[in-house]
A and B are shown apart, each in its own frame.
Chain A
Amino acid sequence: MLPEAKIFAQYLDAKVDDEALLIKYTKAIEKLKLSLSEKEASVLRYLIKMPFLLPFADGAWAFLNPKNGIRKRIMVMSAFIETEPQFVQLFLNEKDVSFSVFKMLFRGSVAVLRGIIGVFLILVLGWK
């Protein structure tokens, strides 16, 4: 499960320099019994090899299948990253951000675009 934890952490911009977070994630998945269907497990194996597809697939699932097992696991990683002091700046603004509305709209547009591309991707690859 460590490779999966690593790609999720990297995907969420957490530069992991020790394995504590990854181990914590691994234990949590077992404890929470967040199992994957056979299809989801095979998609995950593919994503571990091709992690650059993750934002697209995740964006598409967010639209089409928010209860997807892989997305649930990303949520767990996101919650752990959020509760690590070293990553807090990924979640809280320490200063006022200039042009914040434009930045937010830009970020939202990028996310939507990735989602749209992702929808085509998962339909073509049969990952829905």
Chain B
Amino acid sequence: MSSTETKVPSHQRRNRQRSDAPFFFVMGGISATFITLIVLLLVADLRFTSLSDFHAALVKPEIQAAMRLTIASCTVAAILSLWVAVPLGYLLSRYRFPLRWLIDTIVDIPIVLPPLVLGLSLLILFHQKIGDWQLESFLGDLGFSVTYRWPAVVLAQFSVACAFAVRTMRVTFDQIDPRTEDVARTLGCTRGQAFMNVTLPQARRGMIAATTIAWARSLGEFGPILVFAGATRMRTEVLSTTVFLELSVGELDSAVAVSLLMVAMAIVVLLILRLLGTGLNT
């Protein structure tokens, strides 16, 4: 054995002694810049505010109302998103049909569209007149006005969140073996039964992930809400608009406190997502 070692040329021995440290140093160093930025942002926010500021902000009735509306609207938007994302994600994942590429592109539009444009488009949709008919008036006659009311908040959040939920569900269904559905059909299932009894139970984690992502996206939504629902205190104000409103009246301490509250809510949602360990890249 020792005789073999002595025959190894010296330049090959040097290769064996090469360390991986520079590789990890460079990769880790580049990665650390982004992590450091995020941590510094949070630390700066934390240093800026105090517990008393935080408490003072949270006891304000308008902020409490905003918190209630945020939790309610995000939850409704997330449930609606899942309701649409399951069938749409399934169809996009499983079938090749005419104009599928177009539907796929349309689903992505809310993701790439500037938020204000989305809000403006919603506003135009509800107020455009087709002859004498107008969607907002029609809904108003039915006793369900949308614009500048809480339904507008939900719709604005849903418009963006749903796109992310569809993407998540599509990846989920991509990962489920379609053969299980085929076998279920030979055992006596209709397509619907095969979907409900075999595929949907396998998609459970993806559904939780889609709901969580939709909820988190709804929480961060601001532009479309501002344009379509307005930022009326105690009526259409959610936490993202609270930050804007507090800033606009010079209440920086309150704005930072509410921002930190949103950070905490986002972290809880992201932790749930990680704990579920879905492994989905959305």
Whether both chains belong to one complex is answered with: no
